[in-house]
Amino acid sequence: CSNRQFCQNNEGSHDCINCDPACVKCFGSNPDQCIDGCSKGFRSASDSTPNTCVDINECQETPNICGENSNCVNLRGSYECKS
């Protein structure tokens, strides 16, 4: 399987299943099963849960990220500026 997938064993075979987009690598398909950090736009939920990646709300953290005449819309792992 690739880096952004994990291997699920099946009887006589295996499946490669995609990681959650929050994860760089994973051991399961949920955002609390990440390995080696979080993808861009995400961060660890806390020091005590380093395998859990949560969305960064760029709109809250950087209020003027889109400039004066645009509205910031937070997206999972990203943001969008709308006029």
pLDDT more than 90, % of the chain: 88
Confidence of residue 60 (pLDDT cuts 50, 70, 90): very high
pLDDT tens digits along 4-40: 999 999 999 999 999 999 999 999 999 999 999 999 9
Q: How far apart are CA 71 and CA 36, in angstroms?
A: 33
Mean pLDDT value of segment 31-57: 94
CB crowding 28-59: b at 16 or more within 10 Å, else e: beebebbeeebbebbeeeeeeeebbbbbbebb
Which residue has better confidence, 81 or 83? 81
Write down the pTM of the prediction: 0.84
